[in-house]
């Protein structure tokens, strides 16, 4: 089901770019390649008209994702200590989110969440359970040009100490009823509520959309 908060132009750009990326992966002639690249340029031009991103950087970004178009993977760690949840304050918007980010090619999901949590919060963790697998785009991210899935892991702390990173300006544990402003494109109220439900009832199955 399409989110009403996502503008039509962005839905069209995503679809055009997906078709172009897949088409370029299977192009058998220079003519096809030229036409698909031109469609990518058109998608970039549409995006530039509705954002503060210039066309050249958009085209470069679009063409930097070769191969069959498939969703990206965003991973997030839910770490609970003394009934409080760990959040990091993002430099990009000064709001708070579960530690995590894009998984790297070649990593397993567990390896990715261990790395991202260490980088962003300083903590060493072990993933114990997947709380949920979400369609990240259904929440209406402000401007996400690629489709993404979000995996939220329930993790246990095994070492390290809290510290910031190049991407975060603060790290802390918060009571569930006194959370700071959330960076909703990364962590929203539904994710927090699902985490709390799993803490209160560990037998709950993994949530998926």
Mean pLDDT within 62-71: 77
Is residue 46 pLDDT above 80, yes or no? yes
Is residue 22 pLDDT above 80, yes or no? yes
- Give the pLDDT of residue 25: 83
**Tokens standing for residue 141:** 């991210």
Mean pLDDT within 4-27: 84
Largest CA distance in the chain: 62
Is residue 101 pLDDT above 80, yes or no? yes
Mean pLDDT within 33-61: 88
108-151 tens-digit pLDDT: 999 999 999 999 999 999 999 999 999 887 654 545 667 789 99
Give dist(CA 66, CA 77) in Å, integer.
29
Q: Residue 14: pLDDT band by 50, 70, 90 thresholds?
A: confident
Q: Backbone phi, then psi, for 183, in 5-degree steps?
A: -80, 90
- Please state, rounded to an integer, the average pLDDT across all residues of the chain: 89
Give dist(CA 171, CA 153) in Å, integer.
18
- Secondary structure of residue 7 in the 3-state scheme: coil
Task: Please provide the DSSP assignment of 103-134 as one string.
Answer: PPTT--HHHHHHHHHHHHH-EEEEEEEEEEEE
Is residue 3 pLDDT above 50, yes or no? no
- Give the pLDDT of residue 139: 58
Q: Backbone phi, then psi, for 141, in 5-degree steps?
A: -55, 150
Q: Residue 1: pLDDT band by 50, 70, 90 thresholds?
A: very low
Q: Where are the domains of the chain?
A: 8-63, 72-208
Buried/exposed 80-118: b ≥16 CB within 10 Å, e otherwise: beeeebbbbbbeeeebbbbbbbebeeeeeeeebbbbbbb
151-207 tens-digit pLDDT: 999 999 999 999 999 989 999 999 999 999 999 889 999 999 999 999 999 999 999
- Give the pLDDT of residue 194: 97
Mean pLDDT within 75-92: 96
Task: Please provide the DSSP assignment of 138-183 as one string.
Answer: GG--SS--S-EEEEEEEEEEEEE-----SSEEEEEEEETTSPPPB-
Question: Which residues are within 8 A (CB) of 3 and not within 5 positions of it... i.e. 6 or more apart?
Answer: 137, 138, 139, 140
- Give the pLDDT of residue 64: 73
**Tokens standing for residue 37:** 């690249």
Is residue 4 pLDDT above 90, yes or no? no
Give dist(CA 170, CA 179) in Å, integer.
14
Give dist(CA 170, CA 168) in Å, integer.
6
CATH architecture observed for domain 72-208:
Alpha-Beta Complex (3.90)
Between residues 206 and 15, which one has the greater pLDDT?
Answer: 206
């Amino acid at each position: 089901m399409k989110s009403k908060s996502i503008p039509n132009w962005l839905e069209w750009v995503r679809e055009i770019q997906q078709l172009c990326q897949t088409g370029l992966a299977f192009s058998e002639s220079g003519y096809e390649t030229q036409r698909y690249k031109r469609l990518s340029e058109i998608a970039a031009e549409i995006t530039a008209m509705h954002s503060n991103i210039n066309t050249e950087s958009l085209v470069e970004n679009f063409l930097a994702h070769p191969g069959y178009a498939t969703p990206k993977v965003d991973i997030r760690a839910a770490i609970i200590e003394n009934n409080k949840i760990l959040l990091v304050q993002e430099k990009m918007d000064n709001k708070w989110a579960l530690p995590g980010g894009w998984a790297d090619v070649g990593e397993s999901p567990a390896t990715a969440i261990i790395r991202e949590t260490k980088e962003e919060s300083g903590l060493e963790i072990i993933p114990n359970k997947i709380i949920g697998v979400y369609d990240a785009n259904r929440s209406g991210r402000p401007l996400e040009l690629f489709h993404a899935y979000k995996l939220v892991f329930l993790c246990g702390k095994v070492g390290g100490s809290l510290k910031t990173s190049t991407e975060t300006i603060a790290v802390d544990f918060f009571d569930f009823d006194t959370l700071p402003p959330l960076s909703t494109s990364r962590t929203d109220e539904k994710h927090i509520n699902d985490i709390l439900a799993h803490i209160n009832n560990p037998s709950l199955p993994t949530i998926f959309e």
